[in-house]
């Protein structure tokens, strides 16, 4: 329940600023019908409950699934298997992404049915699967460097974009942002962290980020390639006329059956793959498996409530506000867009997930508050510029995207290495549920009112702008960090040498260090306490005297996972603790127990100066 309360708090912080902004606008500049306002408030409540349960389920199910999947991929000695598993994971988790489903329906509506929503979802998911498989391969091999890899990917995108129509470019980059939402981000981050932990090495910190950024390139490549392969250069069709739903409960109740069916279809593929691998490989204990199943059911229930909330007036509200603000004053449209950008990025649930991983991996070296401030300003400017693009038809989307991504990639060669992966990941997580629903509807509503704007060309592209802003802004921050590190280097640790006689002997304490295979640490601690020890510290590690499993094709040696237990005990009980631990045959045989015992002496007088 504590986890649910924490997720609910996250979502409340996500929704309150948007609801407050809508209420302020409805009492000042915008005239909202009472039915739509009630539906919006009900939809906000459903979003609050649904997204909280959804994130709770993700934590219980997707994170463990991602951990098991990463072990299966990293310990595979077959290159083909790595590529196939990577593709399946990327494809299946993207098909289940709610933001992409919402975007697919918006594209189908805006194109007058010319582009089918299901086709968009599957083409985009295939693109994600391909880029994820090659991203995993790059991570395991350690080459090319991540910034070089992304340079190659975006160079291919640039070539494809030259031969495509503006509407396909806008749709492709919006699809890129929509794929990294509430479902995909936690799973891919867990997968990345698992792979980097298993691989280890001096680049493990940098390898803990970047795969979300890699998957963001997949939709752009696939949509642009689809346009060239099919020969379709321009989308023919009239955008559907916007017509808000009537009534309060009717639109909500009528959407539940179809939403339930779509949500079920979204989760089935990944669930089936997991259970097949569990039957063949994982063999997860029954209790842990039941927990994961419960998490998947929570994810499904939360997904249904989330979609129902979106369809209950949330998107209608964004559309109406965009229409009325654009009709009132173009300058106000830019200002509201800027404020909306500052609010949305700070309140995206996936931003909190990434922030927690940044703090965990960098041990607080990169302040998360600084990351959020940089993201907020970058995204606010990006949405404001998106409004400028809608107002002035001569301003093209690529005017911003090309220099933004280009400078971001260029700066990646001068930035602190860990910032490169973080920046590309942040570009994905910034464009989450709030952007894919409210902000996109806001932009499309404005585009329908402004005479010179085209909904297909100008109404889309805002998600792409939001995805581009963090890449550029965080790369700038990374360059500043690296320059600061050069100007103010961290002083080297000075070895302290105590003078003879400063240490007391026979103080009466001993340090016991026990090393066991992962999973046996808690049993060691329990047994030690039963024999007189008062406390212990468990550290996770990897390695042994024996050679680990070497993966031939990617040339990686995977060392076994270990747990190191440190105990400071009274000298009178230390021998007893060590003896009892050594008598446990299953700890010695199965847990590969190794014991180390040494006196723990204490300083008893003032330390002399450092030498």
| CA–CA separation, 386 and 455 (whole Å) | 13
- Name the percent of the chain in helix, strand, coil, to the closest 5: 70, 5, 25
SS3 labels along 467-518: HHHHHHHHHHHHHHHHHHHHHCCCCCCCCCCCCCCCECCCCCEEEEEEEEEC
State the residue for tokens 């009534």: 247
Q: Count Cβ atoms below 10 Å from residue 109 Cβ, excluding itself.
A: 17
| CA–CA separation, 478 and 485 (whole Å) | 11
Range from 13-27, 233-247, 425-439, 454-468 carrying the lowest mean pLDDT? 233-247
| pLDDT for res 554 | 40
Confidence bin at 55 (pLDDT 50/70/90): confident
Mean pLDDT across 332-360: 77
| pLDDT for res 553 | 40
Q: Which contacts qualify for 583-589: CB closer than 8 Å, 24 or more apart?
A: 584/527, 587/516, 587/520, 587/523, 587/524
Q: Looking at the predicted structure, is the pLDDT value of residue 238 above 60? A: no
| CA–CA separation, 134 and 210 (whole Å) | 12
Q: Which helix (H) or strand (E) holds 565?
A: strand 561-570
Question: What would the DSSP string read from start to end of 317-378?
Answer: HHHHHHHHHHHH-HHHHHHHHHHHHHHHHHH-HHHHHHHHHHHHHHTTSS-HHHHHHHHHHH
pLDDT digits (tens, 9 = 90+) for 123-158: 888 998 999 888 888 888 777 888 888 889 888 888
| pLDDT for res 503 | 41
Confidence bin at 549 (pLDDT 50/70/90): very low
Q: Which domains does the chain have, with CATH numbers?
A: 2-231+250-486 (no CATH), 509-599 (3.30.70.120)
Q: Count Cβ atoms below 10 Å from residue 81 Cβ, excluding itself.
A: 13
Range from 218-227, 229-238, 441-450, 549-558 carrying the lowest mean pLDDT? 549-558
| pLDDT for res 121 | 86
CB burial class (10 A; 0-12, 13-18, 19+) of residue 53? buried
Name the packing angle between helices 368-391 and 440-449 (round to 10°).
20
Range from 77-86, 501-510, 576-585 carrying the lowest mean pLDDT? 501-510
Mean pLDDT across 17-39: 84
- Cα 368 to Cα 126, 352, 362, 534, 600: the distances in Å are 33, 9, 10, 36, 38
| CA–CA separation, 225 and 72 (whole Å) | 31
Question: Which range, 194-208, 287-301, 355-369, 508-522, is most confident?
Answer: 287-301
Confidence bin at 426 (pLDDT 50/70/90): confident
| pLDDT for res 179 | 76
Whether 569 contacts 524, CB under 8 Å: no
Contacts of 4 (CB under 8 A, 6+ apart): 52, 53, 56
| pLDDT for res 176 | 77
| pLDDT for res 196 | 78
Q: Looking at the predicted structure, is the pLDDT value of residue 299 above 50? A: yes
Confidence bin at 604 (pLDDT 50/70/90): very low
Contacts of 362 (CB under 8 A, 6+ apart): 205, 418
Q: Looking at the predicted structure, is the pLDDT value of residue 558 above 60? A: no
Confidence bin at 486 (pLDDT 50/70/90): low
| CA–CA separation, 387 and 452 (whole Å) | 13
SS3 labels along 508-552: CEEEEEEEEECCCHHHHHHHHHHCCCCCCEEEEEECCCCCCEEEC
| pLDDT for res 601 | 46
| pLDDT for res 362 | 65
| pLDDT for res 232 | 65
Mean pLDDT across 14-25: 82
Q: Looking at the predicted structure, is the pLDDT value of residue 450 above 60? A: yes
Name the DSSP letter for residue 234: S
Q: When comparing pLDDT for 531 and 497, which is higher? A: 531
Q: Kindly report the backbone phi and psi dihedral angles of residue 500, in degrees, each rounded to the nearest multiple of 5, phi listed first.
A: -60, 135
| pLDDT for res 433 | 65
Question: Do you find a cis peptide bond into 607, omega within 30 degrees of 0?
Answer: no
pLDDT digits (tens, 9 = 90+) for 402-415: 888 888 888 888 88
Q: Looking at the predicted structure, is the pLDDT value of residue 169 above 70? A: yes
Whether 82 contacts 73, CB under 8 Å: yes
pLDDT digits (tens, 9 = 90+) for 452-471: 777 666 666 777 788 788 88
CB burial class (10 A; 0-12, 13-18, 19+) of residue 487? exposed
Q: Give the residue from 132, 139, 282 showing the smallest Cα distance to 197.
A: 139
């Amino acid at each position: 329940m504590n986890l649910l309360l924490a997720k609910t708090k996250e979502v409340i912080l996500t929704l309150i600023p948007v609801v407050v902004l809508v209420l302020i606008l409805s009492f000042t500049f915008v005239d909202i019908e009472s039915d739509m306002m009630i539906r919006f408030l009900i939809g906000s409540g459903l979003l609050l409950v649904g997204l909280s349960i959804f994130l709770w389920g993700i934590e219980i199910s997707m994170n463990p699934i991602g951990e098991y999947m990463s072990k299966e991929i990293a310990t595979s000695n077959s290159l083909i298997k790595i590529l196939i598993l990577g593709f399946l994971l990327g494809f299946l988790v993207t098909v289940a992404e709610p933001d992409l489903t919402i975007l697919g329906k918006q594209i189908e509506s805006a194109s007058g049915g010319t582009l089918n929503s299901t086709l968009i979802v599957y083409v985009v998911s295939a693109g994600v699967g391909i880029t994820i498989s090659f991203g995993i391969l790059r991570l395991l091999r350690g080459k090319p460097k991540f910034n070089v890899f992304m340079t190659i990917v975006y160079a291919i995108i640039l070539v494809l974009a030259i031969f495509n129509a503006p509407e396909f470019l806008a749709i492709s980059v919006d699809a890129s942002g929509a794929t990294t939402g509430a479902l995909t981000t936690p799973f891919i981050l867990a997968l990345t962290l698992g792979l980097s932990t298993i691989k280890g090495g001096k680049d493990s910190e940098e390898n803990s980020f970047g795969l979300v950024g890699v998957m963001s390139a997949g939709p752009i490549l696939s949509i642009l390639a689809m346009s060239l392969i099919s020969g379709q250069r321009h989308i023919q069709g009239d955008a559907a006329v916007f017509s808000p739903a009537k009534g309060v409960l009717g639109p909500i109740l009528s959407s539940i059956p179809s939403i339930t069916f779509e949500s079920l279809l979204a989760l089935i593929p990944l669930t089936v793959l997991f259970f097949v691998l569990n039957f063949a490989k994982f063999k997860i204990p029954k209790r842990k498996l039941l927990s994961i199943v419960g998490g998947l059911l929570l994810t499904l229930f939360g997904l249904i409530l989330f979609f129902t909330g979106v369809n209950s007036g949330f998107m209608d509200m964004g559309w109406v506000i965009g229409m009325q603000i654009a009709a009132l004053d173009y300058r106000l449209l830019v200002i509201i867009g800027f404020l909306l950008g500052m609010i949305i990025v700070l309140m995206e649930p996936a931003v909190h997930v990434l922030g927690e991983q940044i703090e965990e991996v960098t041990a607080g070296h990169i302040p998360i508050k600084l990351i959020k401030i940089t993201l907020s300003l970058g995204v606010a400017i990006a949405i404001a510029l998106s409004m400028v693009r809608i107002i002035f038809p001569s301003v093209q989307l690529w005017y911003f995207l090309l220099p933004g991504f280009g400078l971001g990639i260029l700066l990646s060669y001068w930035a602190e290495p860990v910032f490169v992966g973080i920046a590309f990941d942040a570009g994905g997580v910034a464009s989450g549920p709030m952007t894919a629903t409210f902000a996109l509807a806001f932009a499309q509503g404005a585009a329908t009112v402004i005479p010179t704007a085209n909904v297909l060309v100008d109404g889309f592209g805002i998600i792409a702008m939001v995805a581009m802003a963090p890449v550029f802004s965080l790369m700038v921050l990374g360059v500043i960090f690296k320059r600061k590190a050069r100007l103010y280097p961290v002083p080297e640790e000075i070895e302290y040498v105590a003078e003879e006689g400063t240490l007391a002997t026979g103080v009466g304490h001993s340090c016991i260090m026990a090393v066991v295979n992962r999973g046996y640490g808690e049993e060691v601690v329990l047994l030690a306490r039963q024999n007189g020890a008062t406390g212990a510290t468990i550290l996770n590690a990897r390695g042994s005297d024996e050679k680990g499993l070497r993966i031939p094709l990617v040339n990686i040696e995977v060392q076994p996972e270990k747990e190191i237990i440190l105990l400071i005990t009274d000298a009178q009980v230390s021998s007893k603790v060590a003896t009892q631990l050594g008598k446990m045959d299953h700890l010695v045989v199965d847990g590969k127990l190794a014991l180390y015992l040494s006196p723990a002496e204490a300083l008893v007088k003032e330390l002399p100066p450092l030498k």
